[in-house]
Structure 1
Amino acid sequence: MKRFLPALGALVLVTAVIGAVVWQRPDASPEAIASGDVVLQHADGSLLWRSGQPETPLVGQVLRELVAIGTPLDRLRDAGGALVVTTIDSKAQTGATEVVRQLASGRPASITAVDPSSGGVRAYVPGTDPAVDYAGGVVREAGGATRPFGSVALMRAAGVPESAEVGGRRTELLATGAALLRPLDVATAYATIGADGVHHDTHFVTHVTEAAGKTLYRAATSGRPALGLDPGRSKEFAARVNEELRADPLCGTFPEAACLPVEVKDGDVVRHAWMIGYTPRLSIVVFVGGESRVEVQGRPVTGTGLPNDMLRSFQEKLTTW
C-alpha cells in the first residue's frame, strides 16, 4: 500500500497530459471518422469502440450518458458521425481487466475506479460475463460501506443518486433503511471523501465532437461541497472519515491511503464483499459475490480475502506506469 499513492498520482498526471494532446494523434482527428460512424476513445485517444461493434457494459454506460447529455447515438449518426472521448484510462482499464480475469475465476466481480478531483471514471471492469454489469448494472446491500457516512442522507449528499437505471428499470437506491448500491455508487461516495468533501459529478464522457470538428459537449468538472453550501463543514466531515479509515492496518503506513473492507452476511455465510481503497487521486471499489465457505485460488471471499487481493493486485498494476 506504500506504493499506492505515487502510482495514483502518476495515473492522474499521465491522464491530464495525454488529454491535452489527444487531438495531435492521427487516429483522433474527426476526418478519420467514416460517414455516420460514432467512435468512442479512451482518454489517451486510443480506440475503445466504434458503432456497429458489439456493445459491452462499459460502452452501454457511455451510450446512456450520451442520451442524458443530449447527444444520443442515433442523433450523432444522423449528423454524419462523431468522436466521443471518454474518461477511461486505457492502462488502468487493461490492468483492472487482467485482475478480474486472473483472480475472480468467473465469480461475480468488478473493479471500479473514479478520480476524486474530477469525477471521471478511470477504470470500469464489470466482470467477465458480457451480459451482466457487476459495476453499475446490479444493486447489492451496501452493509458497512455506509457506516462512515452515518446516514442515508449523507450518502445522497456525497453523490449517490436516489435511484438509477438497473436492468432496464428505475431502482430506488436509498429509499430503505438498508441502502442498495451499485459499486459505481460506492466509488462515487468515497471519491467525495477523498476530495476533502467536495463532490464532482461522476461521468464517463469528457467531450463530444461532430465529424466536421464542432464541439457538441464538454463535461464540467467543477465541484461543490457535499454538505450544503459550507465548504468548511464538508472538509471537516471528510477529515473525520479519512482519519478513521486511514487507521486500518490493511492500508499500510502511507498517510493518505484509506481503506475499508466490508462483508454482507446471511448468518455465517458471506453473500458478497466489498474492498474500498482511496486517496485524493483515485477511489477504487472491488466487489466480489460468493459464500465464505468457498475459496478462489486459496483465498476466501471476504473483505480481507479475495477482494483485498484484487485491490492490491490492481494497485501493483498502477505502479508499473
Structure 2
Amino acid sequence: MTVGSEHTRASRSAAGRGRPRRKRSRLRAVLLAALVLLLVLVIVPVGYFAYSYREAEVPRPEALRNNQIATIVAADDSTVLAQVAPPEGNRVNITLDEVPEHVRDAVLAAEDRSFYENPGFSVRGFTRAAWDNLTGKEDAGGGSTITQQFVKNTVVGSDRTYSRKWRELVLAARMAREWTKDDVLTAYLNTIYFGRGAYGVATAAQAYFGKPVGELTPQEGALLAAVINRPSSLDSSDDSEKLRERWNYVLDGMTAMNVLRPSERSSMEFPQVVPFEQIPDPNDALGPEGLVRAQVLDELERLGVDQELIDTRGVRIVTTIDPPKQQAAIDSVANVMAGEPENLRTAVVSIDPRSGAVRAYYGGPQGQGYDYAQAPLQAGSAFKVFGLLAALDQGIPLSARYDSSPVTIGNLRITNVDGASCGTCNIAEALKRSLNTSFYRLTLAMDNGPQSIADAAHAAGIPENIPGVQGVSLTEDGGAPQTGIVLGQYLVRPIDMASAYATIAASGVYHEPYFVERVVAADGEVLYERPRSEGEQRIDEAVADNATQAMLPIASYSRGNGLAGGRPSASKTGTTQLGDTGLNKDAWMVGYTPSLSTAVWMGTNDSEPLLNLWGGSIYGSSLPASIWKQTMDASLSGTEIETFPWPDPIAGQAGVPVYVEPQPSRPSPQQRRSAPAPAPAPAPPPIQVPELPPLPQLREVEIFPGIRIPLPVG
C-alpha cells in the first residue's frame, strides 16, 4: 500500500467521523428550539395562567353592582309614580326564573351554544381575537363565551390590549369554577346591552316590544338575542336585511340545539317591534308626578342617601303620596279649570297634620315644567291667620273688638274689599269677613306686632329660608317686617302654607313636611326608613285651637264651599292685587280638617290680571275655593267625620263669641212722633294709630320667570 492510498483512507475515515457529530449538533439545535418553543408557547403561558388563576379574585354575584332603574312608588307601595335611570342604567335586574326558557335558549344559540359545557372560555376565540388584534383588524374580537363577555362588561373593560384579554380569560375560567352557570347567565342577562338605551333583558323587552320579559314569544326572544352581537346597528325598527339574517341564525341555532322543533321554526314570522319614537324614556315623567319625582330626589340628597345606592341597588322609593288624594287634586284642577283662560296656573298641596307627610302634590300639569307649589308668592289675606295666632299668644281673645273703618296713615290708606265693614266687631268676625282694616289695627295694638306675626308664622312652619327669597323670609330686606305683613305682603310657597296650617290643625304641633317614607333595595334591604316623630309643640295648644274655631265658618261663608256632609273644616281665603290696577294677581284657599291640610294657589306666570272665562276677577273664594272643596271632599270621602277639640279659654274667652249683626229698630209712626230723639250711642274708644313715614315707591321685581311683584325701591 502506498503512502498516498493510506492518506486517502485516513482522510475518508476522519470525514466519516465528522458527519455524525454535525448531525448530532443539528439535532441538538432542533431539540433546543423545540424546547424553547414549547417553553414559550406552552409551559410559560400555562405556568403564568396557573399563577394568574391562583392570584385572581372573582367577586361574588351579589357583590357586582350595576346601574339600574330606581322606582318611585306611592304610599301603597305599588302605584308607580316615576322612575329614575342613571347613565347606562336603563336596567331592571330580574331572576333567571323570570326569563322564559325559550328566551334563554335564544341567547345561548346566539352567543354561546356550549355555555353549560365549556370551562368559561374559548381558546379558539382567544387565539382568533389575538390574531385579529395583531393584524390590526378593525372589528377585532368575537368568539368570547358568555362568561368572558360578562367579565369584560363588568370587571376588566373592553380595551384592545393583550393584558386585558388575558385577565378576561383568567377571570372567566375562575368564575366558571366558583359561580354556578345559572348565576353567570342571570348576571349576563341583566347586564348585556341590547340597544335602544336598554340594558338587561327586562328593559329590552319593554324597549322592543312594550311588554314584560315573561310575555315574550320565541320569535321575539330570538330577535332580542340577535341584536346582542351588534346592538348599535341591529336595533333598527325596520325589517332590515342584517337583522333578519341574524334572527334566522339564532332560530337555526335553536333548532340545532334541539330546543326548537323544525315545524315551529318554519312557521315563525319576523316580529314587529315598537317604533323608535314610541320607546319610553324612564326619566320622562310628563304628568304632575314628575314634579313629585324632583322633590323626592331633592329630599334624598338632603337626607344624605348615597347616590350610588340609588343608582346601583334597583331601589324602590316609597313615598307619602296617597293615590286617591293625588288623583283628587289632579281631577279637581281639571274639573274647575275646564274652559278657563289658558294663562291661569294653579298649585295644590295636601299634608297630613299628624305626621307632615305630603299626601297630594300638584305643582303644574307638566312633570318637566315649573313647579308652582314651590313658587314664592304673596299670600294676601290667608296670612291673617298668623296675625290671629300672634294676638292670641299675647292674650288678646277672639272677643276683642276692632274698628273696621278705613285706616289712613300718611299716604297709606287701608280699606276692605268692596267697602265691607262690620262697624266695630270681634276679631273672629273680622277674620270671617277678611277685613283688612280690623287686622291692621290689631297688628298696631299688639306688642311689636309685625315681628310677632313673623315669629308665629315661622313657628307654624313658614321656613326662615325659602329658595328664591334672599335673606330671612318675612323680613323687610333682612330687617324688621312692616305692618303690612298681616295682609300677606311677604313671600311664601303653597307647600309652606299647607304645612303651617297643618300645624294649627294639629293643635300647634309642627311636623316637617316630607315625601320619602323608606328606600328599599331590590334584594329587600332597607336602606333608609323615616323615623317616627311625635312632632314639636311650637304653638300653644289653646292658641291653635282657638284660631281653628275662628276659621270654622269661613268655607261655608266663602260662596258656600263648606265640605260635604257638614264635615267641619277650618280655612281662610286670600287675594293679592296687581299693583294699583284694581285687579288681582294671586288667589288662595287654605284649609284643613284634623286629618288633612290643603293649600290651593292660583295665578298666572306673566303678571297678567287674574280673570275668569267671563272676564271677572278671580278671588280666593271663587275658583281656588272650588278646587279646595273638590280636593278635600274626594280625598276624605268615606272617612270618619272628625271634630276639632274645644279650646281652653284665652283671657276668659274660649272659642268664637256670639256675634249679633246690629239691626236698626223700626218704631211705629206714633212712637216716632211721641218719642224723644235718642241720644247717640257712645263711640268705642279709638285705637291710637302711630304716625308712620310715607310708603316708599314701589318697583316691579321678577321673583321667577314671568312673575313680578311690587317691592319697595332701595
TM-score (norm 1): 0.79
Shift, 1:318, TM fit: 2.5
8 Å contact from structure 1 (residues 246, 255) kept in 2: no
SS state at 2:356 partner = coil
Unmatched runs of 5 consecutive residues or more in structure 2: 1-65, 86-282, 388-452, 482-488, 639-714
| 1:217 is aligned to 2:528 | yes
1:301 is aligned to 618
| CA deviation map 1:118-169 (0-9, x unaligned) | 1000000112244111112x11012222222121111111122111334xx8
| 1:71 is aligned to 2:305 | yes
Q: 1:156 aligns with which of 458, 464, 469?
A: 458
| 1:175 is aligned to 2:475 | yes
Shift, 1:61, TM fit: 0.6
Map residues 18-57 of structure 1 onto 2, 5 A cutoff: 36-45=68-77, 46-52=79-85, 53-55=283-285, 56-57=290-291
Query: In structure 1, how many angstroms separate the alpha carbons of the residues matched to 2:498 and 2:610?
Result: 27
Shift, 1:115, TM fit: 0.3
Query: In structure 2, how many angstroms separate the alpha carbons of the residues matched to 1:93 and 1:299?
Result: 30
Q: Report the residue type matching 2:546 in the other structure.
A: R
Map residues 221-300 of structure 1 onto 2, 5 A cutoff: 221-227=533-539, 234-248=540-554, 249-250=557-558, 252=562, 254=566, 256-266=568-578, 267=580, 268-290=582-604, 294-296=611-613, 300=617
Q: Report the residue type matching 2:543 in the other structure.
A: F
2:55 is aligned to none
Shift, 1:316, TM fit: 3.5
SS state at 1:108 partner = strand
Query: In structure 1, how many angstroms separate the alpha carbons of the residues matched to 2:614 and 2:596?
Result: 28
| CA deviation map 1:266-294 (0-9, x unaligned) | 33211111001201110011110156662
2:352 is aligned to 115
Q: 1:61 aligns with which of 292, 295, 299?
A: 295
2:327 is aligned to 94
SS state at 2:304 partner = coil
Query: In structure 2, how many angstroms separate the alpha carbons of the residues matched to 1:311 and 1:162?
Result: 26
Please identify which structure carries the higher strand content.
Answer: 1
1:170 and 1:120, CA in 2 relative to 1: closer, same or farther beyond 3 A?
Answer: farther
Greater Cα offset, 121-130 or 297-306: 297-306
8 Å contact from structure 1 (residues 141, 179) kept in 2: yes
Q: Report the residue type matching 2:594 in the other structure.
A: P
SS state at 1:164 partner = coil
TM-score (norm 2): 0.37
8 Å contact from structure 2 (residues 385, 572) kept in 1: no
1:142 and 1:196, CA in 2 relative to 1: closer, same or farther beyond 3 A?
Answer: same
Query: In structure 2, how many angstroms separate the alpha carbons of the residues matched to 1:142 and 1:129?
Result: 24
Give the structure with higher Rg (CA): 2
8 Å contact from structure 1 (residues 115, 191) kept in 2: yes
Q: Report the residue type matching 2:81 in the other structure.
A: L
Greater Cα offset, 204-213 or 246-255: 246-255
State the number of aligned residues. Answer: 278
Q: Determine what percentage of the aligned residue pairs are the same residue.
A: 29
2:370 is aligned to 132
Query: In structure 1, how many angstroms separate the alpha carbons of the residues matched to 2:568 and 2:520?
Result: 37
Query: In structure 2, how many angstroms separate the alpha carbons of the residues matched to 1:36 and 1:141?
Result: 42
Greater Cα offset, 301-310 or 94-103: 94-103
| CA deviation map 1:73-112 (0-9, x unaligned) | 444213x221110000111111211222332344210111
SS state at 1:99 partner = helix
Shift, 1:319, TM fit: 5.0
8 Å contact from structure 1 (residues 296, 306) kept in 2: no
Query: In structure 1, how many angstroms separate the alpha carbons of the residues matched to 2:610 and 2:529?
Result: 48
Q: Report the residue type matching 1:265 in the other structure.
A: Q
Query: In structure 1, how many angstroms separate the alpha carbons of the residues matched to 2:535 and 2:73?
Result: 25
Greater Cα offset, 97-106 or 191-200: 97-106
1:93 and 1:240, CA in 2 relative to 1: closer, same or farther beyond 3 A?
Answer: same
Q: Report the residue type matching 1:287 in the other structure.
A: W
Shift, 1:252, TM fit: 3.7
Query: In structure 2, how many angstroms separate the alpha carbons of the residues matched to 1:77 and 1:215?
Result: 15
Q: Report the residue type matching 1:97 in the other structure.
A: I
Please identify which structure carries the higher helix content.
Answer: 2
1:75 and 1:92, CA in 2 relative to 1: closer, same or farther beyond 3 A?
Answer: same
Unmatched runs of 5 consecutive residues or more in structure 1: 1-33, 228-233
8 Å contact from structure 2 (residues 598, 632) kept in 1: no
Query: In structure 2, how many angstroms separate the alpha carbons of the residues matched to 1:259 and 1:128?
Result: 25
1:195 and 1:77, CA in 2 relative to 1: closer, same or farther beyond 3 A?
Answer: same
Query: In structure 1, how many angstroms separate the alpha carbons of the residues matched to 2:458 and 2:568?
Result: 24
SS state at 2:575 partner = strand
